[in-house]
Structure 1
Amino acid sequence: MSAVKAEITPKSLDRIPGWFWGTDQRLFEWILSGQATENSPGDLLELGTYLGKSAVMIGAHARPGEVFTVCDLFESEAPEAANDAETSRSYSALTRDRFEENYLTFHDALPRIVHGPTSIVLDHVAAESCRFVHVDASHLYVHVRQDVMSARKVLRPDGIVVFDDYRSVHTPGVAMAVWEAVSNLGLAPICVSTQKLYATWGDAAPVRERLLRWLESREDLWHTTDAFDGWELVRVNQIKKPAPPAGDAATLRKLGDDLQRTTAELRKAMAESRAATQALKKATAEISLAGPVVRRAVRWTRRVTRRGRA
């Protein structure tokens, strides 16, 4: 286990390019933290790591005695044309040096790195040794199906596997391989986000129940449960904050200036209103004091007038 030398937050992870969204960051944190407190030690594995965004978080949860392994082609050529074309098109910026640099920004030591296709991972990771596996490598059906079988081999009975891109329009091979595993290989779904499917070859019900209790306490995550033939699935998504008003920076600055000017004018008008109110109260008080004098003067004038007539 390597020590974490920099705080891992959504903001700090944003500095690493990649597709590891807020909902999945929260779900990874909940699963990995829960396993660390409730389960016996077990290793961690990531198939396909890109530039290390999710690996940084996974590695932070490796306990003493546990091994975290990442397997990726990095800049190497894929063993076949179709896979090589996919890698060149989508991951041209990927190099092992960039992954290591990003990872070492947060950790004082690298994970165990298997530099090559995921088909060789079983030569490096023992059967039933892992408590957590993240699959985010090739999108081609033949390779994803092999990754499914590898995950099944290395996971402990209570281990959790996460599949990326299980529903994207450009990754039908992932969807076919994953749902095939659900139908034919006993893979039990726990939950899905917009990007990833979380599942186990063990008993999904207790994990799902704990997840629902946790989600009830979250104000930043939305969730619902769907029932299927013999099993249930929790859908989870992030509740997004309202977007700021549309407009460029100059427009927003002008709106701010106008608001400050209007506020100043309103304060001035209120001050003038208060001063006028005080003046009116003073005049009313003076009139009240003068009233008896005026009435006496009126009575005296009337008496003088009557005498003059007499």
Structure 2
Amino acid sequence: MATAHPTDRLPGELSDVPGWFPPLDQVLFTWLLDRQEAGGFRGDLLELGVYLGKSAILLGRHRQDGEHFTVCDLFGGEAPDGANRAETAKSYSSLTRQAFERNYLSFHPELPRVIEAPTSVISGEVAPKTCRFVHIDASHLYEHVHDDIGAAHEILLPDGIVVLDDFRSEHTPGVSVATWEAVLNRGLRPICLSTQKLYGTWGDPEAVQEELLEMLRGRSDVGLSVQHAAGHRLVRARSKGMREPEFPRSRHYVATAPEPVATSVSAPVPKRRRSPVRRVAVDLLPPVVTRAVRKGLRGRG
């Protein structure tokens, strides 16, 4: 009998969806998107690289009426070059479009626009200056990340936000090089840094940084520091035991009954009282006679 793959199980909660989307980044995504919406900032949403849909599910919750949400991924399809094929085979062998769509539809009534192709096609699929939020989490190869950042710059509205995943992981140096190159040479301005992601804009980050700092300073589950480098203010945030924020459960959620709690203590078993004859025998007679009396009494009882 075939063993069920973890991705075959329908998620009941966002935490059930496999993927790398820490609680801190869930909080930052939600806060930044809520801020845009509260300020009347409208625009489309885009995610490059979706894996099994964990961050896409959160993004989809923030699509407002009249906005579009587009995702782009190879989904195990043919990669554009040998290095990308090797990366896909190593890190994303379990990824299928079917698994992504099943997870996404567990939380939403309809899918986003799904482009099953290399992210290099995105500039021809999404119009320039139409998106308010772009999440880049596709290839870890420098050339691809460099081009994804360039595409995001074209697609984002002024003051739109781009999020770059794995910008400082030890196994993704290509992402690091492409990210800091964009900061130093391509006009990208950091808003904040989490353990995994850099949040940035090609607009002015000062106002959003000030509001973000105020929010983060009010939380006891966030470690915070501010540094300056190459003319940029770098707001660094890290989790201090942060739990995943609340998120609407999927339609597959089934509440589990709590374990019953014992409310009474079993009554002690009463000790067997010895008969008067037995007590006298034990107390007064020699041991040999006592054993004989006990044996006789057991035989009668």
TM-score by structure 1 length? 0.73
1:238 has 2:259 as partner: no
Distance 2:223 2:172 in 1: 25
2:141 counterpart of 1:140: yes
Q: Percent identity?
A: 55
Higher mean alpha-carbon deviation, 158-167 vs 35-44, is at 35-44
| Structure-2 residue corresponding to 1:181 | 182
| 1:98 alignment counterpart | 99
Tell me which residue corresponds to 1:303: none
Post-superposition Cα deviations, 1:46-88, rounded to whole Å, max 9, x if no partner, equal 0000000000000000000000100000021202111011001
Letter matched to residue 115 of structure 1: E
User: Unpaired runs of 5+ in structure 1?
Assistant: 1-10, 242-263, 265-310
- Map of 2:60 onto structure 1: 59
1:25-174 matches, within 5 Å, as 25-174=26-175
Alignment-mate amino acid for residue 160 of structure 2: G
Distance 1:39 1:235 in 2: 27
Report deviation, 1:200.
0.3
- Provide the rounded CA distance (Å) in 2 between the counterparts of 1:81 and 1:106: 35
TM-score (norm 2): 0.75
Contact persistence 1:41–1:65 (CA under 8 A):
no
Counterparts of 1:144 and 1:39, CA distance in 2: 30
> SS state of the match for residue 126, structure 2?
coil
CA–CA distance in structure 1, aligned partners of residues 207 and 52 of structure 2: 33
Q: 1:94 to 1:217 in 2, by over 3 A?
A: same
Specify the alignment match of 1:223 in structure 2. Answer: 224
Distance 2:118 2:14 in 1: 26
The CA deviation at 1:220 is: 1.9
Give the superposition deviation at 1:134.
0.2
Q: Distance in 2 between matches of 1:35 and 1:49?
A: 22
Deviation at 1:228, TM superposition (A): 2.0
Shift of 1:218: 1.6
Instruction: State the alpha-carbon separation in 1 of the partners of residues 71 and 166 from structure 2.
Output: 18
Letter aligned with residue 80 of structure 1: D
Amino acid at match of 1:188: R
Distance 1:153 1:228 in 2: 26
Which one-letter code corresponds to 1:74 in the other structure?
Answer: F
Instruction: Give the C-alpha shift of residue 124 in structure 1.
Output: 1.3
Number of aligned positions between the proteins? 234
The whole-number CA distance in structure 1 between the counterparts of 2:35 and 2:20 is 23
How far is 1:14 from its partner? 1.5
Q: Give the Cα–Cα distance (whole angstroms) in 1 for the partners of residues 153 and 81 of structure 2.
A: 24
CA distance in 2, matches of 1:120, 1:191: 28
Return the structure number with greater helix share. 1
Name the residue aligned to 1:259. none
Letter in 1 for 2:199: Y
1:197, distance to aligned residue in structure 2 (A): 0.4
Q: Take 1:109 and 1:52, find their aligned partners in 2: how far apart are those partners?
A: 13
Q: Give secondary structure in 2 for the equivalent of 1:227.
A: strand
Counterparts of 1:193 and 1:40, CA distance in 2: 24
Question: 1:215-242: CA deviations, max 9, x gaps?
Answer: 122222221111223220111111117x
Are the equivalent residues in 2 in contact too, given 1:77–1:84 (CA < 8 A)? yes
Q: Which moved more, 1:21-30 or 1:34-43?
A: 34-43
Structure of higher CA gyration radius: 1
**Please, which runs of 5 or more residues in structure 2 have no aligned partner?**
1-11, 243-264, 266-301
